[in-house]
A and B are shown apart, each in its own frame.
Chain A
Amino acid sequence: MKNKIILSILISFSISIFVIIFLGLIYPEPDSVASTDHEFYFKSFDPKKERIFIFGSSQMGQLNVTLVNQVVSKNYPSFEVYNLSMSSDEPSNRLPHLERTISLEPTLVIYGITYRDFQTCGFNDVPCIENDPFLLPDIKKSIEANLPKEIQENKINPAFITLRIIRDGLGESQLFTEQNKIRFPNSPFYYIDPNLHHTIIELDEELKKQSNVMKNQGLIIDVSDNGKDVKALKTIIKSLKENNIDVILYIVPQNGPYFLDNISVENKEGFNQMIDRISSEFKIPVYNFTEKYSEEKIWGDTRHISFNPRSMIFSEDFTKIILEEIEK
């Protein structure tokens, strides 16, 4: 009898796993927003409109581009704004897609950059300091390091598939709104994920915890002219200028106590000097917003401004920059 009970447990567990795998296969998650071969590049744009592109990483992705586009189009109906930010983007990652982007003939590119774009190690990446909080061997970490990449990166999300099946099955997209990822038409390579704290304003207590983790990991940035991302950034700006596309550098806002205070004076100085060099070499304007909202309560985590009605100042100020540049 005991064996029969064990068999029952195994059967029910196996059926559940089988159903999940089966659904995963027939409903693959359309998660990839990689820019290669993305439909955005094959889209037919209105030839009468001038396009403004925003480049950058997830920190720029948090802009409310719908609002930015609405305000810009209202003031200048011939302009439209697209946010081409991508998660974890760095100039060297963007470089391979540059030709494709140039072929869409934008009028203006606003490139949002910050310390993270030039890091060789540090925050949420490979830690610079092997600062293991544990004194004894970490068994959990050793096991996790040997797991398949999909499991390590938490790419398995049956709830997302289930909700999609319910939505599709009921044939009414409003019945179960997609909670996991919010996509916007003018932001083709980035989505807002409420599960990743993209939409809430985080409490100081939590920001402090994240800040401590970051502090323990350290940060090294390579802002020398030979650094791979500096080289890539220069190549991007040069190519854009050669194609008569105006470029603006926008230095991404950062949280003061929980981010900027963790950056060393050397890193800050090196970064600012690099920006000055690039600005004077290519004669491009720089909007430095690093400390603009450093004390504001608008942060979703230590690096990202929340996508939230209370964080509108970020998108509103950004819109003003675009309007200012169009007027020039």
Chain B
Amino acid sequence: MLFNTIDFVIFFILVLTIIPAIKNSKFQHVFILLASYFFFYYTSNYLIILLIFTTFWDYYFSHMIYKAKDQKIRRIIFLVSLSGNIGLLGFFKYADFAIAQFNFLGNQLDLNAQIPMLDLALPIGISFYTFHSIGYVIDVYRRQITPSKSLREYAIFIAFFPLLVAGPILRAKQFLPQLREKIDEKEIGTRLRQIIINQANLKIGMTLIALGLLKKMFFADNIAPMVNEIFAQPLGLDSFTIILGTIGFGIQVYGDFSGYSDIAIGAALILGFKIPANFNKPFFATSPSEFWRRWHISLSSWVKDYLFLPIVYRKIGSDFLLAFGIMITFIILGLWHGAGWNFILFGFLHGVYVTIETIIRKRSPGLANHWFFKKRIGKIISILSTQYLIFLAWIPFRVTNTNDMFYVMEKYIILDFQTGNIMNFLMSHKLPIALIVLFIILHLVSYRTKNIQEKISKLNLYWWTTFLTVTFLAIMLFYNGIPSDFIYFKF
């Protein structure tokens, strides 16, 4: 179910109406679980079996890991659990990609046999709920958390509908305590928490939902046609058009995904669940590593904790191992986004950026404190040069055809402007260009105004209603009648 459809609006209103009417907290939790399953079943139908399988698989394996006394047995059970998750993800998401590579190699070696493609439907959200589940099992294995005693509780963690199909990727230690009653500030009890919709959460949550819809439906969806037009046939286009398309795509993907995250976090907050922010003004990052601390924070912190740190564990002093760890992490991060060489290249480019930055920082620890980087101009140059590299990496993310991709990258790097075309292009794409400019202005405003969502939600009721009306109007007036998918649904 897409957040930007009337189906979701009706579904969410029903959930919010029924929850307060249920007085028993146990039934409330059962209702949340059933609503989440309905949300998933509505568009994914029988693929819900995979979600339920993942839930049972990791719930029982995590208990076995926890109870096992022998370290070897613990490790074996842990590896079985992990291989189940990775196997499921790999089979549904990467099987055809792997077959295509085998077939290509076979052709190179003059082998006539071709493995037929499986053409499997990619289960929506599989990358997200599998990562939820893997993170939980690793935490249990590391003894950082005790496994959940209730299957229902664990099932809600995996299937909680606001986060189910496109994250943010949640940690069990962040979410599970929120299902239970707080005894005091430090301790969480075992009793289930009564879900209460309170006014503060309702106001901030609704503000987040409105801003999320604005990012997605007003900005991303209206910039998308220009981006699609440019990248459908980029060969022959000049650098100006290519750069504009790349900037447009960067904004589109940000509006799309951070918009989705805002709606998810807002919906969860209305239900009383606090989910950490997934984006923090990534276009103001002053270095590639900082970009990943601001972009898709839940994924980047997940790969850091569960992938990067175990690779470089205790060997952080070695430059080679550090570079190797970063590159592997980013290539897997790229591959997480989709089964294709273009996503591997996306990850590879980011890996190269972060590796170079990390090694420079390691060898010249004083550089970050250099007077130049402390000055305003130094910061602006850092932001612009970082964003230049980040937007370059968006190209393989968007353009899948190899010839087109290298052409676009060449035009992005080696500038070649055709003045006559620029004016024609600008004149025929005024709306998306106006939206790009408006987005940049609003992004600057939000950068200068800290916690803008909170400030908006603290407005008095009159101004808050005005904000909502203007936002809804902007969304609806520029809505073309066809709800478009969120880009990250594919992942």
A residues lining the B interface (CB < 8 Å): 1-2, 4-6, 8-9, 11-13, 15-17, 19-20, 23, 133-136, 138-140, 143, 154-160, 162-163, 174-177, 179-180, 194-195, 199-203, 205, 212, 308, 310
Contact = CB atoms under 8 A, between A and B. Distances in A.
Contacts of A2: 197-199, 202
Interface residues on B, range: 35 or more
A15 B473 contact: yes
B472 A158 contact: no
A194 B478 CA distance: 16
A5 B45 contact: no
Contacts of B42: 139-140
A194 B479 contact: no
B183 interface: no
Given A158-B481, A179-B431, A203-B400, 7 more contacts: A5-B202, A6-B202, A134-B46, A157-B481, A158-B479, A159-B222, A180-B480
B165 to A, nearest CB: 14
A308 B233 CA distance: 10
A261 to B, nearest CB: 15
Interface in B28-54: 41-43, 45-46
B233 A9 contact: no
Contacts of B233: 200-201, 308, 310
A23 B481 CA distance: 15
Contacts of B431: 163, 176, 179
Contact of A5 (B199, B428, B466): B199
Contacts of A5: 199, 202-203, 206, 461
Contacts of B232: 200-203
A1 B7 CA distance: 28
Interface of B: 7, 41-43, 45-46, 119, 121, 197-199, 202-203, 206, 222, 225, 228-229, 232-233, 400-401, 427-428, 430-431, 461, 464-466, 468-469, 471-473, 475-482
Contacts of A160: 480
Given A158-B481, A176-B430, A200 B473 contact: no
A143 to B, nearest CB: 8
Contacts of B464: 8
A12 B430 contact: no
Contact of A195 (B41, B479, B482): B482
Contacts of A138: 45
B472 A159 contact: no
Given A5-B199, A203-B401, A20 B477 contact: yes
Given A136-B45, A159-B479, A163-B431, A13 B472 contact: yes
A180 B481 CA distance: 12
Contacts of A19: 473, 476-477
A175 B476 CA distance: 21
A4 B465 CA distance: 10
B476 A140 contact: no
Contacts of B198: 2
8 contacts: A2-B199, A4-B461, A136-B41, A157-B479, A158-B481, A159-B222, A194-B225, A201-B232
